[in-house]
Structure formats: C-alpha cells, structure tokens
Amino acid sequence: MIHFNKIAIVGCGLIGGSLALSLRLHGVSNQIHAVDVDRQGLQQALSLGVIDHAADSLEELVTDADLIILAVPVQQAISLLEKLAELPLKKGCIVTDAASTKKEICEFAHNRMPEGISFIGGHPMAGSERTGVLAASPRLFENAVYVLTPSPGQDPIAVETLRKTFEQIRAHVLFMDPLEHDRITAAVSHVPHLVAGLLVDQVADLDLENRLYSQLAAGGFRDVTRIASGSPVMWRDIVLTNKEPILQLLKDWNHRVAQWIEWIESTDVANMESFFTRTRDWRDALPAKAKGAAANYYEIALDVEDKPGIIANVTTVLGQHQINLRNITILENREEINGQLLLSFASCSEQGEALRVLQELGYKVFALE
Ligand SMILES: NC(=O)c1ccc[n+]([C@@H]2O[C@H](COP(=O)([O-])OP(=O)(O)OC[C@H]3O[C@@H](n4cnc5c(N)ncnc54)[C@H](O)[C@@H]3O)[C@@H](O)[C@H]2O)c1
Ligand SMILES: O=C(O)C(=O)C[C@]1(C(=O)O)C=C[C@@H](O)C=C1
C-alpha cells in the first residue's frame, strides 16, 4: 500500500477534486491540501470535505508535500512548474500533472527539476464536459487508463511509486512516450472535440435563421456533441500544445470529407454502405463498458419520476436483496439515455438480479450493453 503524509493539489476542479476524493477513498493520504485561483471553489472543496486544508499560496501548499499534482490547464501547469523549480521542495518529492497533452510539459520539465525531485507527466483518460469541484467524483478513475510519461533516466523508485499510487485508485497505468501519447490523443480526444464543436457551430448558425434546428436536435445530435460543453480554456490549451498532430488529422479529414462529397454526387451506393458497415463494426468492437481502454462495469438505466425519495427507494430495495451497488449517477439529460438513474454493478450477475428485482417492482429498467 502506498501512503503519502501530505499531498498537494494545485487546481481543485473536476480532475483535482476527483483525485483528492479517490486518493483519500483508497487510503493514499489523509492530508490532502489544495490551492486554487478560484477561492470560492476552493472553499467549497474544503467545506465538502474534498480536501483537508485550503492553502493561501503555492509556497505554503508545497511545503513538506510528498506528492504534488498539477491539475490545471496545461499552459498554467507549465508556468507552475517554472515556479516550483524555484521553491524549496521536500527532498524525494514527486511532482506530476494531469494535463491532456504531454510533449510540451515533459520537455519543459526535463532537467529543470532540482536535485532529488522527480517530475513524471500524467494524464487520466477519464473526465467529463463539466468543470469545477462540484462535478468531482471519487470513482472517476476506476477502470480508466492513466497514462504516465516518465522521461528516460527518471528515478525508478519514484516512477514505481506513482504507478502504484494510481493503481491503488483502481486506474490502469500505461507508460508511454509523450510524443506518442499526444499523437494518439489528438485522434481519440482532441480532434473529436473539434468536430463536436464544428457540428454545434454549424447548427447554431442555421438556428439563427430557423429555430426549428435546435428544436429538432435530439439524441443523435446531443450524443455526438456532449463534449462541446467542455472548458474553453482547457481545450484552447490542448490545441495550442498539440498543434502538429491535430493539423495532420484535420488535413486528413479534408480528404475524407472530399471523398464523401464525391460519393454523394455520384450516388456511389457501394462505397457509402461499405463505409457505414466498416465504421459500425469498428465502433461496436470497442469495449462497451470501458472508460478509456479497459472494461469492467455492468450498468442499468432506470426511468424514474422526478420525485423525492426515489433514490432511497431504489438503493433500499437493492440492499434488501443483497445486491451490491457500485455506483449511482443521476443523468440530467433524458435524451442521452432511456432513464434518469444509472446504476453500476461489479458483476454481470448483480446487474441481472437488479434488473429482475426492479422490473418486478414495476420500474422501467434497461440493461446497458
Ligand atoms: N475535463 C476532463 O475531462 C479532463 C480529463 C483528463 C485530464 N484533464 C486535464 O486536467 C486539467 C484540469 O482540468 P479540469 O477538467 O479539472 O478543469 P477545471 O476547470 O474543472 O479545473 C481546473 C482548476 O484549476 C484552477 N486553476 C487554473 N489556473 C490555476 C493556477 N494558476 N493556480 C491554481 N489553480 C488554477 C481553476 O480555477 C480550476 O478550479 C487540465 O489540464 C485538463 O487538460 C481534463
Ligand atoms: O468524457 C469526456 O467528456 C471527456 O471529454 C474526457 C476526455 C476525452 O475522453 O476526450 C477529455 C479530455 C481528457 O484529456 C481526457 C478525457
């Protein structure tokens, strides 16, 4: 078991707050301190018990810290690293970040950390379009891939300690080269985000002329554009620190879009159908219950009326049948899924049993593939 006496989190929003909650939940530390430029959000984190102490400054925060986590937009993380390099940190302290791009920050940190201090880049492949500590969850990283990008020659003990730390919060740690990380996340995260934004932008313009566009935007549009609600500052920083891979992919998109234009103009039925078959098959083969690359959730969605006591009813019934509920999420958007409560179980048999019990009680329940 890994245990740190004091963990310092810089930026206590969605990711910093979720890390604080999960590190405490899994016994990694019970002294989790944080600082944030948003003083109100930081006070909220303190009063919600997400952190044990709200520091007044970076200097105060990092004194005596054994682990420092930078959970701020990537360009801020780089400036903070510059400041940290000037501060007297505890010998043996590990510094990591949670930023979505790795090349620039790792290059910046290389050879800049004082003797005895290790910087190891990190990136949890889990998150949401929401921001701030109120969106934080102690289970965000369970079964999610957590990428670490240590540079060659890094203290192997520090690397191993960090690997075990994130495994203790039940993430799957993957070691990667920062460049490869950025090339892959450009394709699976950054360009998808741009595409979601482009779809929204196009419909928003059309909607100015005719409000029926937004009225007709239902499940499909909402599914593919959910991520467009993410933090503009965070996504701006991601694009600015991963320009080349994103540019290459966007140029490739140009060819693919041009090809589709050709198929439509020439009514190329065979190519259209083969495209839809190929993309459906690849999408269907992705691990369905995965966050990131690893599967492990068995979920059901419950269509319930919005009335007080409903969550208590459901959890009580499951408890009475000895069914262990692993997580419960309230879905705010009814178009996203057929239900408002999302229940997660550790096993397929518990999922089946919960489905049966709740159906018998007259609930409208759906098992998720
Ligand atoms: N949102 C996601 O899905 C996701 C997933 C994985 C990684 N990340 C990465 O995690 C980092 C944090 O993102 P988030 O989603 O938690 O955003 P967030 O907006 O919820 O939280 C960021 C917090 O950092 C604070 N902050 C900004 N600059 C600061 C500074 N100089 N000093 C102290 N606090 C500062 C903000 O006030 C905010 O509370 C980003 O680098 C992002 O790329 C995000
Ligand atoms: O699930 C979401 O909403 C996310 O946007 C999470 C997501 C992604 O999968 O692209 C976003 C950025 C992060 O760097 C990692 C994860």
Residue 314 tokens read as: 């459901």
Q: At what angle do helices 232-240 and 74-84 cross, to 10 degrees?
A: 80
Q: Which of 15, 128, 194, 329 to mutate to test the pocket of ligand 2 (most atoms within 8 A of CB)?
A: 128
Show the tokens assigned to 330: 């309230």
Number of domains in the chain: 3
* Cα–Cα distance for residue pair 119/113, rounded to 1 Å: 7
CATH of the domain at 258: 1.10.3660.10
Please tell me whether residues 98 and 20 are part of one structural domain: yes
Q: Which of 15, 46, 229 to mutate to test the pocket of ligand 1 (most atoms within 8 A of CB)?
A: 15
Atom of ligand 2 nearest to the CA of 226: 3
- Check whether residue 197 and residue 248 sit in a common domain: yes
Q: Is the CB of 77 under 6 A from ligand 2?
A: no
What is the Å distance from ligand 1's center to 102 Cα? 15
Q: Residues 26, 88: one domain?
A: yes
> How many other CB atoms are there within 10 angstroms of residue 25's CB atom?
14
Ligand 1 binding pocket includes 100 (Cβ within 6 Å): yes
Q: Is the dihedral of CA 78, 84, 86, 90 positive or negative?
A: negative
Q: Is the CB of 50 under 6 A from ligand 1?
A: no
Question: From the CA of 12, how far away is ligand 1's center (Å)?
Answer: 7
Q: Cα of 307 to ligand 2 centre, how many Å?
A: 32
Q: How far, in Å, from the CA of 125 to the mean position of ligand 2?
A: 6
Specify whether 68 is located in the same domain as 210.
Answer: no
Express each pLDDT in 18-75 by its tens digit.
999 999 999 999 999 999 999 999 999 999 999 999 999 999 999 999 999 999 999 9
Structure confidence at residue 324 (pLDDT): 86
Full 3-state SS string of 123-178: EECCCCCCCCHHHCCCCCCCCCEEEEECCCCCCHHHHHHHHHHHHHCCCEEEECCH
DSSP class of 87: S
Domain membership flag for residue 290: no
Q: Which ligand is nearest to the CA of 192?
A: 2
Residues 312 and 172 both lie in one domain: no
Domain residue limits at 142: 4-176
d(CA 355, CA 338): 14
Query: For residue 127, which atom of ligand 1 is closest to its CA?
Result: 3
Phi and psi at residue 212, in whole multiples of 5°?
-65, -25
Please tell me the distance between residue 145's alpha carbon and the centre of ligand 1 in angstroms: 18
Q: Which of 18, 231, 234 to mutate to test the pocket of ligand 1 (most atoms within 8 A of CB)?
A: 234
CA 177–ligand 2 middle distance (angstroms): 19
- Please state the atom number of ligand 1 nearest to the C-alpha of residue 98: 10
**In whole angstroms, what is the distance from residue 25 CA to residue 328 CA?**
16
Residue 216 shares a structural domain with residue 329: no
- The answer to whether the CB of 95 falls within 8 A of the CB of 118 is yes
Specify the amino acid at residue 243. Answer: K
pLDDT at 88: 94
Q: Do 270 and 233 reside in the same domain of the chain?
A: yes
Residue nearest to atom 40 of ligand 1 (CA): 73
78 lines ligand 1 (CB under 6 A): no
pLDDT of residue 290: 57
In sequence order, what are the beta bridge partners of 328? 343
Q: Got the DSSP string for 185-222?
A: HIIIIIHHHHHHHHHHHHHHHHHHH-THHHHH--HHHH
* Ligand 2 center–CA 193 separation, angstroms: 9
Last residue of a domain, one of 176, 197, 215: 176
CA 317, distance to chain mean position in Å, is: 31
pLDDT tens digit sequence for 181-194:
999 999 999 999 99
160 and 48 share a domain? yes
Secondary structure of residue 341 in the 3-state scheme? strand
Compute the distance between CA of residue 23 and CA of residue 39 in angstroms, rounded to an integer.
22
Where is the domain boundary, 120, 142, 176?
A: 176
What is the residue-level pLDDT of the chain in tens, covering all 369 positions?
999 999 999 999 999 999 999 999 999 999 999 999 999 999 999 999 999 999 999 999 999 999 999 999 999 999 999 999 999 999 999 999 999 999 999 999 988 999 999 999 999 999 999 999 999 999 999 999 999 999 988 999 999 999 999 999 999 999 999 999 999 999 999 999 999 999 999 999 999 999 999 999 999 999 999 999 999 999 999 999 999 999 999 999 999 999 999 999 999 999 999 999 999 999 999 876 555 433 456 788 888 776 778 888 888 889 888 888 877 877 654 444 445 788 888 777 788 889 888 888 888 888 876
> Under DSSP, is residue 228 helix (H, G, I), strand (E, B) or coil?
helix
pLDDT at 94: 98
Question: Ligand 2: which atom is nearest the Cα of residue 127?
Answer: 6
Is there a single domain that holds both residue 29 and residue 168? yes
Q: What pLDDT shows up at residue 65?
A: 98
Query: Among all ligands shown, which has an atom nearest to the Cα of 228?
Result: 2
Label the pairing between strands 32-35 and 7-10: parallel
List the beta bridge partners of residue 147: 123, 174
Ligand 1 centre distance from Cα of residue 94 (Å)? 19
Tokens of 153: 């020659």
Same domain membership, residue 234 and residue 141 = no
3 state SS of 365: strand
| 289-316: burial string, b at 16+ Cβ within 10 Å, e else | bbbbebebbbbbbbebeeeeebeeebee
Closest CA to 227 of 182, 190, 265: 190
Between β-strands 294-295 and 290-291, what pairing exists: parallel, antiparallel or unpaired?
Answer: antiparallel
48 with 64, same domain: the answer is: yes
**Structural domain contains residue 293:** no
User: What pLDDT does residue 333 have?
Assistant: 47
Q: For residue 226, which ligand has an atom nearest its CA? A: 2
List the helix and strand counts (H, then E) for the chain: 15, 14
pLDDT value of position 291: 59
pLDDT of residue 304: 76
